[in-house]
């Protein structure tokens, strides 16, 4: 793996001279003085090229607990609800689809309504998606040609925070969409309650996360080709908040992340947990009103020709 680094300016507005914001042993996040986007200034080239995700992360996405969580019936409930609100049928490209969790749920719940394609830089998980019957394209999303194929919807679920140049990807998505097509983005929320309370101790301040967006900065990222249809706060995991609050702020190991992920997945699937879900959903909605949820999602649409 190459050890070169790429030096960046603000990935949203292009300004320089950011101020240090969050810092822990293996990551320093700066904040743009112009638009408040949080970002890592100096990024390993292997992150930018995707090489890191193919070579050292592929196996992680195939761990039994990770697969069980990503393919749990409840895993993509929120994403599906948002997606269905705008797109009732058509061709869908999921960028960074990993082992195909989202597309598999989409096909299961709405059979025959969508033609699904997944793309990812990580070959192992993509092979898993293929075995589920999902059409897959491995490699560089940016090399997909709009002359060959266009889509009714493109999704980036928890992808843009990993990219060295997220604007490049959104611009390309706009080119690959049909006129009036929808683009969905979900990222960790830089203004979440968790970041406000925990700061650098939050487990999702981690080396692989290069960008820290908010609803406002996602709006700015849309550029000229996409209009903003909706910005919504989503997800709230009190277990992570409590665990990291009690923690020391050292990086959380993959095993620890998986243990909590497994517990959360079990809880979501447990039949007895109905009232708990209701309370949780109400709390999540209340946090959403104040922009404090763990994640923020944006719905963009290409301009009608
Ligand atoms: Zn900026």
String of b and e for 245-269 (b: at least 16 CB within 10 Å)? eeeeeeebeeeebbebbeebbeebe
258 alpha carbon to ligand 1 midpoint, in Å? 33
212 alpha carbon to ligand 1 midpoint, in Å? 11
19 alpha carbon to ligand 1 midpoint, in Å? 11
168 alpha carbon to ligand 1 midpoint, in Å? 15
State the pLDDT at residue 112.
95
Average pLDDT over residues 279-294: 92
Q: Which of 66, 64, 24, 41 lies closest to 195 in space, CA to CA?
A: 24
45 alpha carbon to ligand 1 midpoint, in Å? 21
Q: Which of 60-64, 81-85, 189-193 has the lowest mean pLDDT?
A: 60-64
32 alpha carbon to ligand 1 midpoint, in Å? 5
CB under 8 Å to 272, separation ≥6 — which residues? none
94 alpha carbon to ligand 1 midpoint, in Å? 27
294 alpha carbon to ligand 1 midpoint, in Å? 21
Report residue 259's pLDDT band, with 50, 70 and 90 as the boundaries.
Answer: confident
pTM over 0.85: yes
18 alpha carbon to ligand 1 midpoint, in Å? 8
The DSSP call for residue 32 is -
Cα dihedral sign for 151, 209, 225, 289? positive
11 alpha carbon to ligand 1 midpoint, in Å? 7
How confident is the model over 2-20, as pLDDT tens digits?
469 999 999 999 999 999 9
Q: Which residue ranges form the domains of the chain, and what is each CATH number?
A: 27-302 (3.40.50.150)
How confident is the model over 112-146, as pLDDT tens digits?
999 999 999 988 999 999 999 999 998 889 999 99
CB 10 within 8 A of CB 35: yes
Please report the DSSP string for 220-288 in residue order: HHTTTTEEEEEEEEE---HHHHHHHHHS-SSPPPHHHHHHHHHHHHHHHH-GGGHHHHHHHHHHHHHHH
300 alpha carbon to ligand 1 midpoint, in Å? 20
213 alpha carbon to ligand 1 midpoint, in Å? 10
14 alpha carbon to ligand 1 midpoint, in Å? 6
221 alpha carbon to ligand 1 midpoint, in Å? 10
More confident site: 136 or 249: 136
39 alpha carbon to ligand 1 midpoint, in Å? 9
CB 185 within 8 A of CB 160: yes
State the pLDDT at residue 267.
77
81 alpha carbon to ligand 1 midpoint, in Å? 31
- 123/226 Cα distance (integer angstroms): 30
33 alpha carbon to ligand 1 midpoint, in Å? 7
How confident is the model over 28-56, as pLDDT tens digits?
999 999 999 999 999 988 887 777 877 76
CA distances from 199 to 25, 30, 123, 164, 217 (A): 13, 13, 34, 22, 19
* pLDDT surpasses 80 at 1: no
CA angle 3, 94, 303 (to 5 degrees): 110
State the pLDDT at residue 163.
95
The DSSP call for residue 303 is P
CB 119 within 8 A of CB 97: yes
State the pLDDT at residue 305.
61
State the pLDDT at residue 2.
47
194 alpha carbon to ligand 1 midpoint, in Å? 22
111 alpha carbon to ligand 1 midpoint, in Å? 42
43 alpha carbon to ligand 1 midpoint, in Å? 17
């Amino acid at each position: 793996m190459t050890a070169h680094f790429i030096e960046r300016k603000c990935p949203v507005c292009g300004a320089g001279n950011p101020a240090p914001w969050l810092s822990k042993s293996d990551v320093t996040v700066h904040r743009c003085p112009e638009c408040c986007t949080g970002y890592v200034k100096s990024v390993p080239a292997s992150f930018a090229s995707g090489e890191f995700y193919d070579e050292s992360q592929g196996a992680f996405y195939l761990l039994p607990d990770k697969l069980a969580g990503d393919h749990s019936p409840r895993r993509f409930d929120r994403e599906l609800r948002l997606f269905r609100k705008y797109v009732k049928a058509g061709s869908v490209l999921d960028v960074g689809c990993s082992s195909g969790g989202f597309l598999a749920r989409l096909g299961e719940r709405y059979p025959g309504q969508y033609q699904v394609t997944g793309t990812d830089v990580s070959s192992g998980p993509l092979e898993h998606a293929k075995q589920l019957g999902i059409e897959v394209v491995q490699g560089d999303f940016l090399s997909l040609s709009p002359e060959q194929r266009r889509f009714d919807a493109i999704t980036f679920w928890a992808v843009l925070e990993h990219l060295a140049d997220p604007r490049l990807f959104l611009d390309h998505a706009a080119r690959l969409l049909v006129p009036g097509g929808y683009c969905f983005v979900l990222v960790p929320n830089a203004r979440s309650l968790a970041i406000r309370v925990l700061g650098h101790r939050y487990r999702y301040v981690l080396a692989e996360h290069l960008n820290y967006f908010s609803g406002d900065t996602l709006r700015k990222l849309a550029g000229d080709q996409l209009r903003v249809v909706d910005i919504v706060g989503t997800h709230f995991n009190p277990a992570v908040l409590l665990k990291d609050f009690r923690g020391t702020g050292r990086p959380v190991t993959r095993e620890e992340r998986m243990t909590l992920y497994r517990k959360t997945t079990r809880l979501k699937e447990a039949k007895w947990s109905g009232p708990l879900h209701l309370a949780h959903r109400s709390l999540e909605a209340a946090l959403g009103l104040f922009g404090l949820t763990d994640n923020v999602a944006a719905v963009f649409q290409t301009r009608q020709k």
